[in-house]
């Protein structure tokens, strides 16, 4: 289903009148019209792989850069020299001096009627956290390898991070093909390794491309050197990535950001629709109280809307007050978030300071902020082997599996079901620092209404009980889980198995 913007007819009419334009204005309008969408691209790889050159090349060949930017680079190159396109994605002075990229940089360019946002992140192991935070904003990732070296352990680690933060599309740019004599055999071998690495993750698209960033082969223009390659260029692949604001799928969610008031008794709930669709007449439910109300108006400064979809920032006026404010998550009747008493999560440790169980930690969800009653670090994830090692130490750049218990129930979804209401950050209560980013992999709690009275068995619950010591997802794990559900059923408790281990 396509995302839609519905408006009252009177506005459409007014606009139609306003749109009458002369031929000259029409020509200008072509330059000025809105682009068709936005795609965020994460680039990861190390400096040695030529990442800055690849991104610079994409900008140099495909984007309409200001002339002075081009002229500067040409001037710097000197007579007869090739412009160093990598300078286009250059950053802070400190980094320039160090010769490496240590932070995320954002670049914007327009090509083929779309906005592309390049999120450039460092690839080195000690910057896992920078990459994870950059990746959390991206729709597609470009992983870069040197054709001479092929897929490395680092590539595997990158894929794991991308998967963790929810990226669904990945591109492997096999760079420096000129240095392996444009060899098809070499490329096919790397491509096969890449497929083997990505197969275990939840990517819906994983494509390898042979490129040479320095000369621009297969970046924005087709390579003449690699006539054996019949696939798309990098720019072609990027052009096929769907923009944000297109997919209206999923259950309706709107975390309430703030309450706005107007004349007389107007009380509106302001928020961004993070998933699904809401329309005038929709019955919405506050997941914390289970109270429901009907949407009376969808208010914006440009006039009321009939409906709104994921990505839109709106104000909802309900037919009666159900006493909700910031922190509440509004949902449709048929599918509610869980009011979590505890949750299993995967954390990327972002802070420079290692985890300290004695520090006060707050859980910041979409719009709620709750103290944590406890955090239990269960295991550390080795990103190269995906093996878990038990341990309670958690240091910068670690990916850990943890059990969190909020001081009061908090509305959450599983990350795989709902990205915005299934992710959170941990905040140091004292300094305010962001300690970790996290995704919800399992929830223990009550889902009101639709799931009232149902007991939810998550992998975490099972792993602590009858499935302790059994690999999550193994046949034995599933057998025992089913057994627990049957026993509960026999005892009159409706149980639902929930978790990736099913």
Partner 1 sequence: MRPAQQSKSEGGTRMTRPLSHLDILEAESIHIFREAAAQFRKPVLLYSIGKDSTVLLHLARKAFYPQKPPFPLLHVDTTWKFRDMITFRDRAVAKLGLDLIVHTNAEGVARGVDPVRFAPSLYTDVMKTQALKQALDLHGFDGAFGGARRDEEASRAKERVFSFRAPGHRWDPRKQRPEMWRLLNGRLGTGETARVFPLSNWTERDVWRYILREKLEVVPLYLAAERPTVLRDGQLLVLDDDRMPLRDGERAVTRRVRFRTLGCWPLTAAIESSADTLEAAVAETMTSATSERQGRLIDHDQAGAMERKKQEGYF
Q: Interface residues for partner 1 in 432-471 (CB under 8 A)? A: 432-434, 437
Sequential DSSP letters for 303-364? --EEEEETT-EEEEEESS-----TT-EEEETT---EEEEEEEEEEEE-SSSPP-TTS-EEEE
**Binders in 162-221 for partner 1, by CB under 8 A:** 165
Stretch that binds partner 1, among 50-58, 195-203, 244-252, 440-448 (CB under 8 A): 244-252
Query: Distance between CA atoms of 248 and 366, rounded to whole angstroms?
Result: 19
Q: Confirm if 52 and 91 have CB atoms less than 8 A apart.
A: no
Q: How are beta strands 423-428 and 361-364 bridged, if at all?
A: antiparallel
Least separation, in Å, of the C-beta of 143 and partner 1?
20
Query: Distance between CA atoms of 41 and 488, rounded to whole angstroms?
Result: 47
Among 148, 149, 244, 496, which residue interacts with partner 1 (rule: CB under 8 A)? 244
Q: How are beta strands 494-498 and 454-458 bridged, if at all?
A: parallel
| 186 vs 419 by CB, closer to partner 1 | 419
**Binders in 100-119 for partner 1, by CB under 8 A:** 103-108, 110, 114-115, 117
What are the E-state strand segments in 124-176? 140-146, 169-175
Query: Distance between CA atoms of 433 and 358, rounded to whole angstroms?
Result: 16
For tokens 């009321």, the residue is 304
**Binders in 352-381 for partner 1, by CB under 8 A:** 362, 364-367, 369
Query: Distance between CA atoms of 353 and 331, rounded to whole angstroms?
Result: 37
- Report CA torsion sign: 82, 86, 91, 97: negative
Least separation, in Å, of the C-beta of 429 and partner 1?
8
**Binders in 469-498 for partner 1, by CB under 8 A:** none
**Binders in 380-409 for partner 1, by CB under 8 A:** none
Among 183, 300, 379, 392, which residue interacts with partner 1 (rule: CB under 8 A)? 300
Stretch that binds partner 1, among 52-60, 269-277, 336-344, 443-451 (CB under 8 A): 269-277
Least separation, in Å, of the C-beta of 246 and partner 1?
5
Among 275, 312, 335, 446, which residue interacts with partner 1 (rule: CB under 8 A)? 312
Q: Is 77 among the residues that bind partner 1 (CB under 8 A)?
A: no
Among 124, 137, 195, 341, which residue interacts with partner 1 (rule: CB under 8 A)? 137
**Binders in 12-51 for partner 1, by CB under 8 A:** 12, 14-16, 19, 25, 28, 31-38
- Residue 474 carries which DSSP code? S
Q: Is 63 among the residues that bind partner 1 (CB under 8 A)?
A: no
Among 56, 83, 268, 442, which residue interacts with partner 1 (rule: CB under 8 A)? 268
Query: Distance between CA atoms of 209 and 196, rounded to whole angstroms?
Result: 16
| 88 vs 375 by CB, closer to partner 1 | 88
Least separation, in Å, of the C-beta of 68 and partner 1?
4
Sheet with 105-111, side-by-side order of all strands: 105-111, 114-120, 38-44, 140-146, 169-175, 205-210
């Amino acid at each position: 289903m396509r995302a839609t913007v519905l408006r009252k007819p009177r506005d459409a009419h007014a606009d139609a009148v306003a749109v009458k334009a002369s031929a000259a204005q029409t020509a200008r309008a072509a330059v000025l019209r809105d682009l068709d969408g936005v795609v965020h691209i994460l680039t990861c790889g190390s400096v040695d792989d030529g990442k800055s050159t690849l991104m610079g090349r994409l900008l140099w060949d495909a984007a309409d850069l200001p002339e002075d930017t081009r002229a500067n680079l040409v001037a710097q190159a000197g007579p007869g020299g090739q412009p160093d396109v990598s300078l286009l994605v250059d950053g802070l002075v400190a980094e320039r001096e160090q010769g490496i990229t240590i932070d995320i940089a954002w670049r914007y360019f327009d090509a083929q009627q779309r906005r592309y946002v390049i999120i450039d992140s460092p690839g080195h192991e000690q910057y896992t956290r920078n990459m994870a935070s950059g990746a959390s904003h991206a729709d597609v990732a470009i992983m870069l390898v040197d054709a001479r070296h092929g897929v490395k352990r680092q590539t595997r680690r990158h894929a794991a991070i991308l998967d963790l933060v929810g990226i669904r599309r990945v591109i492997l740019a096999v760079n420096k093909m000129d240095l392996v004599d444009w060899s098809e055999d070499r490329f096919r071998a790397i491509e096969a390794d890449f497929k083997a690495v990505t197969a275990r993750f939840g990517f819906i698209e994983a494509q390898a491309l042979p490129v040479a960033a320095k000369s621009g082969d297969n970046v924005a223009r087709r390579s003449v050197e690699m006539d054996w390659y019949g696939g798309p260029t990098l720019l072609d692949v990027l052009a096929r990535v769907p923009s944000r604001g297109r997919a209206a799928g999923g259950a309706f969610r709107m975390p309430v950001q703030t309450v706005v008031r107007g004349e007389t008794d107007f009380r509106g709930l302001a928020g961004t629709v993070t998933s699904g669709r809401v329309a005038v007449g929709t019955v919405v439910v506050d997941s914390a109280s289970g109270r429901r109300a009907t949407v009376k108006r969808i208010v914006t400064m440009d006039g009321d809307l009939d409906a709104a979809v994921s990505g839109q920032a709106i104000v909802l006026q309900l037919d009666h007050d159900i006493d909700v404010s910031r922190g509440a998550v509004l949902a449709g009747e048929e599918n509610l978030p869980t009011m979590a008493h505890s949750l299993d999560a995967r954390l990327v440790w972002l802070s420079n300071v290692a985890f300290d169980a004695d520090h006060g930690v707050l859980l910041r969800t979409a719009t709620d902020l709750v103290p944590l009653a406890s955090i239990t670090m269960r295991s550390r994830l080795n990103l190269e082997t995906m093996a878990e090692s038990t341990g309670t130490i958690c240091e910068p750049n670690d990916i850990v599996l943890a059990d969190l218990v909020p001081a009061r129930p908090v509305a959450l979804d599983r990350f795989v079901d709902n990205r915005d209401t299934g992710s959170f950050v941990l905040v140091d209560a004292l300094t305010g620092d962001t300690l970790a980013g996290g995704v919800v992999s399992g929830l223990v709690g009550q889902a009101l209404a639709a799931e009232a009275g149902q007991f939810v068995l998550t992998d975490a619950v099972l792993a602590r009980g009858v499935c302790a010591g059994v690999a999550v997802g193994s046949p034995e794990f599933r057998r025992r889980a089913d057994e627990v559900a049957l026993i509960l059923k026999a005892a009159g408790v409706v149980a639902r198995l929930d978790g990736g281990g099913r």
